[in-house]
Amino acid sequence: MTDGARPFAAAAGEAPVPAAVDVIRAKRDGVPLPARDIRWVIGAYLRGEIAEEQMSALLMAIYFRGMDAAELRAWTGAMLDSGERLDLGPVGLPTVDKHSTGGVGDKVSLILAPLVAACGAAVPQLSGRGLGHTGGTLDKLESIPGWRAALSNDEMLGVLRRAGCVICAAGAGLAPADRRLYALRDVTGTVESIPLIASSIMSKKIAEGTGALVLDVKVGSGAFMRDVADARLLAQTMVALGTEYGVRTTALLTRMDTPLGQAVGNAVEVEESVATLAGHGPPDLVEVVLTLATQMLRLAGVDADPRAALADGRALARYRDMIAAQDGDPDAPLPVAPHTRSVPAPASGWLARLDARAVGNAAWRLGAGRARKEDPVSAAAGVLCLAKPGDWVEQGQPLLELRADDETRFGAALAALGDAIAVGAERPAVPGPVIDQVGG
C-alpha cells in the first residue's frame, strides 16, 4: 500500500473510508497485515496523517489479536527505520549490551557494564528511567554529583572509547516511532502486549548498533512478567528478532519475587553497586551479574573470567572511568536521607517472604520512584533490606530500613508494604536467582 491508498476496497454502496480505518479493521478481524501496510501506518503516524485515536485503536487490536512473525518483523523494522542507527565500528572492540525488563533493586547495569568492559568488550548501554515500583538506571546514576545521562552520539562514542562502557539516555534520533508509540501505549492500556514490548525493546537495541545482546527477563511479583510462561514467550520473541536483524542474542530468565540485593532506591543502589565492584556484594546480586557477564563475553567472542575482573579491582576502575567521563565525581559523597524508620520482624522464625512489588511500591512512596515520567525523584529515598528469605529473624529485629527526605512519607510507605513480610516456623527453600536460558 502506498501513501494515501486504501488497502481494501469498500463494499458496494459504501462511502470511501480512510486507509487507516481499513488497517484497523483488518487487524481487529485477525487478518495479518502485509509489511507494506505496516510501513505505511508507522510512517503516516509520524507524519501526522493518522490520528492518535486511530493509532490507539490499532494498538488495542494488536493487543487482542497479536502479531505473527512476519508482522512483528515488519513492525520492528518500521520503527527501526524511523530514525538513525549508530555505527560503533570506530570503537575498535567487540560490542555487547544487556537489557533488563525491570525489577526491584535491579542495579545490575551499574556493575555489569564496567565489569564486561574490564574483560575486553565494549558495552554501549542505552538505559531508561523508573516508573511506578520499578527503578530506573538513569535515576540511580543521577544521584552522583555532576553525572550526565544526556550525551550526543559523538560524546557517547568518546566515553565508550575512553572507558570501554557507557550508560546514557537514548538520543531522540534512535527509533523515534517507539517513543511516540510507547507514550500512547502507556495511556491506552496496551503496554502488556508481548509483540509490542518485544518490538519496542529490540528496535532501540538494534538501532544502537551493538553486535551482541543479552536480555535479562525478570519473572515474579516485582517484575513486569509475573508468569514464567509469559516471560519465556517474551524472551523467545526478542531473541528471534535480534537474530533476524543480525544481533547475536540470548536471554536469561531471572527471579524477581524478592528484591535483588539489599538496596532499593537511587543513591542506596549506587552505594551497593560500588560495594559489589569492590568485592563486597550480596550473593544473589553477584550471581546474576556474573551469569550475565559470562553470557555477554561469550557472545562477544571474548575469552576472559569476569569473576577475576571483579576481584582484582579492574571492574571498579572502569566504573570510575565511566562516571568521570560523563562528568560525574566518583569520589563525591552520595545523598543521604535525613529521616529513617525501621520495620521490625513480627515474630521469631524463618523469613519466608519479602515481596518485591510491595517493597518497590514502598520505595516509590518514599520518593524514590515516580507515577509519571515527568515527576521528580528523590536521590536519597529508598529501602534497605536487612534480611532476606531464608534468614532466621528474631521478633522485633529490624527487617527493613525506610529512608526519606520527608518523614510524612513513612505512613504511605508502611501502607504499601501491607503483607509483604511473612515469617514461618520452617526454613523455606530459596531457589537461585537464575531460572533458565533462552537462545544460544
Residue 185 belongs to some domain of the structure = yes
Strands of 162-288, DSSP E: 165-169, 212-219, 248-255, 263-265
pLDDT for residue 195:
96
Q: Which residues contact 305 (CB under 8 A, 6 or more apart)?
A: 119
The answer to whether 333 and 391 are in contact (CB under 8 A) is no
Residue 80 belongs to some domain of the structure = no
> What are the residue ranges in the chain where pLDDT is below 70?
1-18
Q: How many other CB atoms sit within 10 Å of the CB of residue 143?
A: 23
Query: How far apart, in whole angstroms, are the C-alpha atoms of residue 58 and residue 24?
Result: 5
Q: Catalytic annotation on 133?
A: no
Q: Catalytic annotation on 200?
A: yes
Q: Choose the catalytic residue: 185, 255, 318, 357.
A: 185
Q: Choose the catalytic residue: 65, 98, 99, 314.
A: 99
Residue 296 sits in the same domain as residue 374: no
Which spans in 66-135 are helix H?
69-80, 108-118
Residue 314 belongs to some domain of the structure = yes
Residue 180 sits in the same domain as residue 119: yes
Q: Choose the catalytic residue: 100, 143, 200, 203.
A: 200
Q: Catalytic annotation on 255?
A: no
Q: Choose the catalytic residue: 107, 204, 248, 403.
A: 204
Range of the domain at 132: 89-325
Residue 356 sits in the same domain as residue 215: no
Residue 155 sits in the same domain as residue 96: yes
pLDDT for residue 13:
46
**Residue 122 belongs to domain with CATH number:** 3.40.1030.10
pLDDT per position as a tens digit, 210-243 = 999 999 999 999 998 999 999 999 999 999 999 9
Query: How far apart, in whole angstroms, are the C-alpha atoms of residue 270 and residue 273?
Result: 5
Residue 103 sits in the same domain as residue 29: no
Residue 196 sits in the same domain as residue 107: yes
Residue 250 C-alpha cell reads as 540470548
Residue 349 sits in the same domain as residue 393: yes
Q: Catalytic annotation on 99?
A: yes
Residue 265 sits in the same domain as residue 360: no
Q: Choose the catalytic residue: 178, 257, 284, 321.
A: 178
pLDDT per position as a tens digit, 36-71 = 999 999 999 999 999 999 999 999 999 999 999 999
Pairing of β 96-100 and β 212-219: parallel
Q: Catalytic annotation on 204?
A: yes
Residue 35 sits in the same domain as residue 104: no
pLDDT for residue 128:
87
* Total number of domains constituting the chain: 3
Torsion of CA 107, 110, 114, 115, to 10 degrees: -10
The SS3 assignment for 252 reads strand
